[in-house]
Structure 1
Amino acid sequence: MSLSDQIVSPADEADESDAAAIVANDIAPMEQEALAKRQLTIEIFTHFLNISVEENREIDEKIIVKLLENLDTKDSGERDCSQELLFRIYRRFEGLRPYIRKQITNVFYRFIHETEQIDGIAELLELLKVIIKNYDVLPLADREQLLLNVLLPLHKSESLKTFNVQLESCVLDLLKENASLIPKFINGLLRLWPKTSTKKEVIFMKELVKILQITKHKQFLKILIPLFHRTAKCVSSPCVLVAEAACYLWSKKEIVRLIIKNNEDIMSIMFPTLYQVSREHWSQHIRDIVYSVLKIIKQINEDLFMQLCRTYNYKLELKVDKFIEVEGNPSETFKKPVNR
Structure 2
Amino acid sequence: MLRKIMKGGHRKPSKSDGNDFGFGAPRNSGSGPANNVVVNHSSRAAPGPPSPHTGSAIAAPPPIWLWKDYGQLSRGNDKNGFSEYIPLLLRYVVSSDTDTKVAKRYIDHSFVLKLLDLFDSEDPREREYLKTILHRIYGKFMVHRPFIRKAINNIFYRLVFETERHSGIGELLEILGSVINGFALPMKEEHKLFLVRALIPLHKPKLISVYHQQLSYCITQFVEKDYKLADTVIRGLLKYWPVNNCQKEVLFLGELEEVLEATQSAEFQRSMVPLFRQVARCLTSSHFQVAERALFLWNNEHIVSLIAQNRSVVLPIIFEALEKNIHGHWNQAVHGLTVNVRKMFLEMDTELFEECQRQHAEKKSRARDVEEQRELTWKRLADVAAQRGGEDMITV
For normalisation by structure 2, the TM-score amounts to 0.70
1:1-340 alignment runs, 5 A limit: 2=65, 3-6=67-70, 8-9=72-73, 11-12=75-76, 38-47=86-95, 50-56=97-103, 57-134=105-182, 139-312=187-360
CA RMSD in angstroms, aligned pairs only:
2.4
- Encode CA deviations 1:153-210: one digit per residue, 9 max, x unaligned: 1000111000000000000001111211211221121122111101111111111111
CA gap 1:234/1:5 in 2 versus in 1, 3 angstroms: farther
Question: Does the aligned pair in 1 maintain the 2:202–2:208 contact within 8 Å?
Answer: yes
CA gap 1:15/1:85 in 2 versus in 1, 3 angstroms: closer
Structure 1: which 5+ residue stretches go unaligned? 20-33, 318-340
Which one-letter code corresponds to 2:98 in the other structure? I
Computing the radius of gyration over CA atoms, which structure comes out larger, 1 or 2?
2
In structure 1, distance between residues paired with 2:84 and 2:221? 35
In structure 1, distance between residues paired with 2:335 and 2:204? 31
In structure 2, distance between residues paired with 1:76 and 1:136? 32
In structure 1, distance between residues paired with 2:84 and 2:107? 22
Question: Does the aligned pair in 2 maintain the 1:260–1:300 contact within 8 Å?
Answer: yes
Question: Does the aligned pair in 2 maintain the 1:156–1:192 contact within 8 Å?
Answer: yes
Which 10-residue stretch deviates more, 83-92 or 308-317? 308-317
- Encode CA deviations 1:254-278: one digit per residue, 9 max, x unaligned: 1111111111111111111101111
Normalized per residue, the structure richer in helix is 1
Q: How many residues align?
A: 300
Question: Does the aligned pair in 2 maintain the 1:143–1:174 contact within 8 Å?
Answer: no
In structure 2, distance between residues paired with 1:75 and 1:250? 41
Structure 2: which 5+ residue stretches go unaligned? 1-22, 24-64, 366-396
Question: Does the aligned pair in 2 maintain the 1:83–1:124 contact within 8 Å?
Answer: yes
Ranked by relative contact order (alpha carbons within 8 Å, sequence separation 6 or more), the top structure is: 1
For normalisation by structure 1, the TM-score amounts to 0.81
Identity of aligned residues (%): 31
Query: Deviation at 1:105?
Result: 1.2
SS of 1:288's partner is helix
Query: Deviation at 1:129?
Result: 0.8
In structure 1, distance between residues paired with 2:267 and 2:225? 14
